[in-house]
Structure 1
Amino acid sequence: MTALLLAERVPSDGHVLVLGAGGGLELKVFAEAQAGWQFAGVDPSAEMLKLAEATLGPLASRVALHEGYIDTAPMGPFDGATCLLTMHFLTAEERAHTLAQLWRRLKPGAPLVLAHHSFPQSADEKLHWLRRYAAFAVASGISASNAENAIAAISSKLPLLGPEQELALMQAAGFESIELFYAAFTFKGWVAYKPG
């Protein structure tokens, strides 16, 4: 889905920023989907970046890997950017900074694709959605005890925000035409654009 959303606007010779590159699985999918794209992958873990290089294999020649966070990322400007399964680790203030810095690094009209945990945060609604998440995990083969441990960790360790807060942060950073393209229990995905 992310590769398709990027391809709507990123040219065939485009340059894409991948924030939270992890072990390189996303980079590999994007590089295989678009033979002309170049990438900058950013992640705070040197170990994960080594794994990314191994995962990419011969595709690594099209990827510049950078250890760090958004402030370590090259300025670009980039034709598009992604931040998948990363923002839910950041506080609201850190998200606001990260979104503003992503906006600065994009060309006018460029897309940003985000996906992470985001669901209503009132006490009752939060528990309701986490129980659904756990039930789905159990139905997918995860043990009930592991699923319970996962929702306890998500609830207590992640600085979660509701979808309306996420939207407000994207708008405050300057993004427009924000669209929800994915929703699955506790996960949401958006595509947003720098005005152009």
Structure 2
Amino acid sequence: MSSFSDPDQVARYTEGPVRQVPGFRDMQRMAALLLAESLGPEGEVLVLGAGGGLELRLFAEGQPGWRFTGVDPSAEMLALAREVAAPFAARIALHEGYIETAPDGPFDGATCLLTMHFVPREQRVPTLRALRQRLKPGAPLILAHHSFPQDEARRALWLSRYAAFAAASGVAEANARNAAKAIGERLPILSPREDEAALAEAGFTDISLFYAGFSFRGWIATA
């Protein structure tokens, strides 16, 4: 979205997820634990949508033996990631671009948190396939993003719940409603069934739901 190139919006990014994503910090911790099941104390992790640096910081704090390759198309968001995860810079390589230009790896695991809902429908499977091609066989992918039923009535209901949570978390009510409206109009959101089908079409197996928070869902899948 265009806000990721707006300096003021980028500067405030780290405040947003906690207010807008139910259980945001716990979702990140669960992602780290799921990675650790496969990686152990050492490993190479690919982070797609690394701008902002929040998961990079959390993962690096908890796992001193992991190294990270972060990919994001926004130079401004990558600059914020460098700032947020600065104490761990020696173990983090950041790349401006999309998954197609990311290093080949192969990586021991990957995450894609709060990112896939920005990827156009026609690019979902190619993006997931490019992720899988950069993972070692059996490596985990952990992803979480907006995913809810897309019939008109239930779509409106889940967007209203998103707005209600944001307002209850301290976001001004008008801003929360506007954000929900923008999400509904601009983001190419899939239903959970469509998201799981895209993962399977891209070649992932053992697709399991690990997180659900109002309009957000999260899965672990195996390359």
Bucket of the pairwise TM-score, normalised by the shorter protein: over 0.9
1:131 aligns to 2:195 (yes or no): no
Aligned length: 194
Q: Which residue of 2 aligns with 1:31?
A: 60
Q: d(CA) in 1 for partners of 2:158 and 2:83?
A: 36
Q: CA deviation at 1:11?
A: 3.2
Q: Distance in 2 between matches of 1:24 and 1:140?
A: 22
TM-score (norm 1): 0.96
SS at match of 2:38: coil
Range with greater deviation from structure 2 (52-61 or 154-163): 52-61
Task: From 41, 44, 49, give the equivalent of 2:73.
Answer: 44
RMSD of equivalent CA atoms: 0.9
Q: Which letter maps to 2:66?
A: W
Residue from 156, 164, 183 that aligns with 2:193: 164
Query: What is the aligned counterpart of 2:147 among 94, 118, 124?
Result: 118
**In structure 1, C-alpha distance between the alignment counterparts of 2:185 and 2:125, rounded to whole Å:** 21
Aligned-partner SS, 2:219: strand
Among candidates 124, 139, 143, match of residue 172 of structure 2: 143
TM-score (norm 2): 0.85
- Aligned-residue offset at 1:190: 0.4
Whichever structure has more helix as a proportion of its residues is: 2
1:135 CA drift (Å): 1.6
2:181 to 145, 152, 163: 152
- Work out whether residues 138 and 144 of structure 1, in 8 Å CA contact, stay in contact via their aligned partners in 2: yes
Q: Percent identity?
A: 62
Q: How does 1:87-102 map to 2 (within 5 A)?
A: 87-102=116-131
Aligned equivalents of 1:176, 1:54: Cα separation in 2:
36
Q: Is the contact made by 1:11 and 1:79 (CA closer than 8 Å) also made in structure 2?
A: no
Q: CA deviation at 1:27?
A: 0.6
**Which of 176, 182, 187 lines up with 2:205 in the alignment?**
176
Give the C-alpha shift of residue 58 in structure 1.
2.9
Unmatched runs of 5 consecutive residues or more in structure 2: 1-29
* Matching residue within 86, 93, 99 for 1:70: 99
Which segments of 5 or more consecutive residues in structure 1 lack a partner in the other structure?
none
Any runs of at least 4 consecutive aligned residues in structure 1 with deviations exceeding 4 A, and if so which?
none
Task: Specify the alignment match of 2:17 in structure 1.
Answer: none
Q: Hey, what does 1:13 align to over in structure 2?
A: 42
SS at match of 1:23: coil
Other-structure match for 1:79: 108
Partner Cα separation in structure 2 for residue 128 and residue 56 of structure 1: 36
Range 48-57 or range 157-166, more displaced: 48-57
After superposition, the C-alpha distances for 1:68-107 in whole angstroms (9 at most, x for unaligned) are 0001110000000000111101112211111000000000
Measure, in 2, the Cα distance between the counterparts of 1:136 and 1:50.
Answer: 29
